[in-house]
Amino acid sequence: MKKFNKNFMLGSATAAHQVEGNNIYNDCWVEENLKHSLYDEPSLDAVDHYNRYKEDIRLLKESGLNTYRFSIEWSRIQSERDLWNHKEIEHYRDVINCCLDNGITPIVTMFHFSSPKWLISMGGWENPEVISLFAEYCRRVVSELGDIMEYVCTINEANMRMFISEILKTIGAKQDAQVGINLDSSNADAAGIEASEAFGLKFPEQPHTFVSPCTPEGDIIVMKAHEAARDAMKAECPHLKIGITLTVHNVIAVDGGEENAHAEWDTEFLHYLPYIQHDDFLGVQCYTRKRFNKKGLMPYAEGVPLTQMGYEECPEAVAGAVRDIAKNFKGDIIVTENGIATADDHVRSHFIEKATDGIKECIDDGIPVKGYIYWSLLDNFEWQKGYSMTFGLIGVDRKTQTRYPKESLYELGSFI
Ligand code: BGC
């Protein structure tokens, strides 16, 4: 089998709230612990990565992988608007240094879905003030840690809020009270009141968390926050390579579905182009495909394999999405997330093999793909679905926090 060359960034990813544990100052923590919570369970200690990062990075290194993408938790650094916690910046200095000591390239994400509670209480991601607040948080972090950083993602899946709005429009549901999508509206009012109160808002005003639906203005606020943060970090540390990450599908037109497919691609990707033109790279995150015919989104064909998440298992999707992106985005591309939630590690290995074969073909065709980062390094807290989804290359017994590396970890590590 053809391998990636040694400069290629091959690795795996986590996100602070999903693995660290006890992120008590963020909006997810608040919402996980509401009586009418839409989360299946609270994150609690998660997989204790905050204390066990050394072991996790060591396992990643031993597998042969060379890159670790993780995120800094904003609510740890700035737990109140006027409270900057230097000790937490030092924690992330240790994490980055641990990567470097192990010969691992860190890709640092400044924001991965969880916001400080105080930010949501002041209008969250619909309040234009978030633009300068986010830029200042990023600037402060790189003013301390920039000299040991190289790759930075500003915002994870900057288009996630828009996706949620689109889904809600399609199902005609009431705007959701809490994080994510509430398909069950039976207790929506009680949940809505509780969610408002938890953030000190006046019902019916709802918290504008990062994973709640957005207005068209809110969609652009996110992109402006990205630009402001990128410029502030560049001014502080010109050597940093800075990009954003977007979640996309491999959007496919079938039997005259071109117009519908194009409209979807514009919503998912094209309309963001003006805001990412000056970035050093684009982080592409893709998990599956969507097929459109003349009537619209096509249902899954009978019997297609689905992942634990309920969407089509489609390892070819990521390469398809990268090819589509490369038609309009001419900079470097890093696949910052791709993966599968499955209980069967053979299925995972097979998925990774096919997905990475597709990426190698993209590279052979001249598309500048600089890295492939599997989601996720560890089985972890999958937001509203709690700990039931197993994406990880490493399993975890959360009672003892013992790590159990899976075969797929070593398989991916052998591809370089
Ligand atoms: C997110 C992760 C999430 C993963 C799997 C991505 O959308 O960045 O936080 O766990 O998908 O659902």
Stretch (H or E) spanning 363: helix 345-364
pLDDT band at 196 (very low <50, low <70, confident <90, very high): very high
Atom of ligand 1 nearest to the CA of 157: 8
Q: Where do runs of H (alpha helix) occur along 20-159?
A: 27-32, 49-62, 74-77, 86-101, 117-121, 129-145
The partner residues of 291 in beta bridges, in order of sequence, read 252
Task: Report CA(340)–ligand 1 centroid distance (Å).
Answer: 10
Task: Report CA(212)–ligand 1 centroid distance (Å).
Answer: 15
Pocket test for ligand 1, best of 383, 384, 387, 389 (most atoms within 8 A of CB): 383
pLDDT 10s digits, 206-217? 999 999 999 999
Q: What is the mean pLDDT of residues 279-304?
A: 97
Atom of ligand 1 nearest to the CA of 156: 8
**Type of residue at 245:** T
Say whether 228 sits in a helix, a strand or coil.
helix
Q: What percent of the chain has pLDDT over 90?
A: 93
User: Which amino acid residue places its CA nearest to atom 3 of ligand 1?
Assistant: 382
Is omega for the bond preceding 204 within 30 degrees of 0, making it cis? Answer: yes
pLDDT at 76 exceeding the cut of 80? yes
Residue 33 half-sphere exposure, CB side, CA atoms within 13 Å?
A: 13
Cα(60)–Cα(67) distance, integer angstroms:
8
- CA separation, residue 75 to residues 145, 233, 392 (Å): 17, 19, 25
What pLDDT does residue 209 have? 97
pLDDT at 172 exceeding the cut of 90? no
Q: Taking the model in full, what pTM does it have?
A: 0.96
pLDDT band at 75 (very low <50, low <70, confident <90, very high): very high
Identify the CA nearest to 337 among candidates 324, 349, 323, 355: 355
Arithmetic mean of pLDDT over the chain? 95
Q: What is the mean pLDDT of residues 256-268?
A: 98
What pLDDT does residue 182 have? 46
What pLDDT does residue 134 have? 99
pLDDT 10s digits, 304-356? 999 999 999 999 999 999 999 999 999 999 999 999 999 999 999 999 999 99
In this structure, are residues 398 and 387 in contact, taking their beta carbons and an 8 Å threshold? yes
Pocket test for ligand 1, best of 382, 387, 388 (most atoms within 8 A of CB): 382
What pLDDT does residue 177 have? 37
Which token pair is 118?
């105080």
Query: Tokens 């608007």, residue?
Result: 81
Task: Report CA(234)–ligand 1 centroid distance (Å).
Answer: 27
pLDDT 10s digits, 360-390? 999 999 999 999 999 999 999 999 999 999 9
Cα(358)–Cα(376) distance, integer angstroms:
19
Task: Report CA(375)–ligand 1 centroid distance (Å).
Answer: 8
Cα(210)–Cα(26) distance, integer angstroms:
11
Burial of 328 (0-12, 13-18, 19+ CB in 10 A): exposed
What pLDDT does residue 168 have? 81
Q: What percent of the chain has pLDDT over 70?
A: 96
In this structure, are residues 379 and 390 in contact, taking their beta carbons and an 8 Å threshold? yes
Q: What is the mean pLDDT of residues 71-82?
A: 98
pLDDT band at 170 (very low <50, low <70, confident <90, very high): confident
User: Which amino acid residue places its CA nearest to atom 10 of ligand 1?
Assistant: 382
Q: What is the mean pLDDT of residues 289-312?
A: 97
User: Which amino acid residue places its CA nearest to atom 9 of ligand 1?
Assistant: 15
What pLDDT does residue 174 have? 42
Task: Report CA(314)–ligand 1 centroid distance (Å).
Answer: 16
Task: Report CA(286)–ligand 1 centroid distance (Å).
Answer: 10
Task: Report CA(153)–ligand 1 centroid distance (Å).
Answer: 15
User: Which amino acid residue places its CA nearest to atom 12 of ligand 1?
Assistant: 382
pLDDT at 173 exceeding the cut of 90? no
Which token pair is 215?
């207005």
> Which residue ranges have their beta carbon within 6 Å of ligand 1?
15, 18, 156-157, 247, 285, 337, 375, 382
Q: What is the mean pLDDT of residues 193-220?
A: 96
Pocket test for ligand 1, best of 337, 348, 374, 385 (most atoms within 8 A of CB): 337
Is omega for the bond preceding 376 within 30 degrees of 0, making it cis? Answer: yes
Q: Where do runs of H (alpha helix) occur along 269-316?
A: 273-276
Atom of ligand 1 nearest to the CA of 113: 9
Task: Report CA(270)–ligand 1 centroid distance (Å).
Answer: 21
Atom of ligand 1 nearest to the CA of 15: 9
Which token pair is 170?
């399609």
Answer with the residue of higher pLDDT: 303 or 182: 303
Burial of 229 (0-12, 13-18, 19+ CB in 10 A): buried
Residues in contact with 321: Cβ distance below 8 Å, sequence separation at least 6, in sequence order: 248, 249, 250, 251, 284, 286
Atom of ligand 1 nearest to the CA of 247: 7
pLDDT 10s digits, 102-159? 999 999 999 999 999 999 999 999 999 999 999 999 999 999 999 999 999 999 999 9
Task: Report CA(235)–ligand 1 centroid distance (Å).
Answer: 30
What pLDDT does residue 186 have? 59
What pLDDT does residue 179 have? 38
**Which residues in 18-104 belong to E strands, given as ranges?**
67-71, 78-80, 83-84
Task: Report CA(255)–ligand 1 centroid distance (Å).
Answer: 31
Which token pair is 134?
């986010």
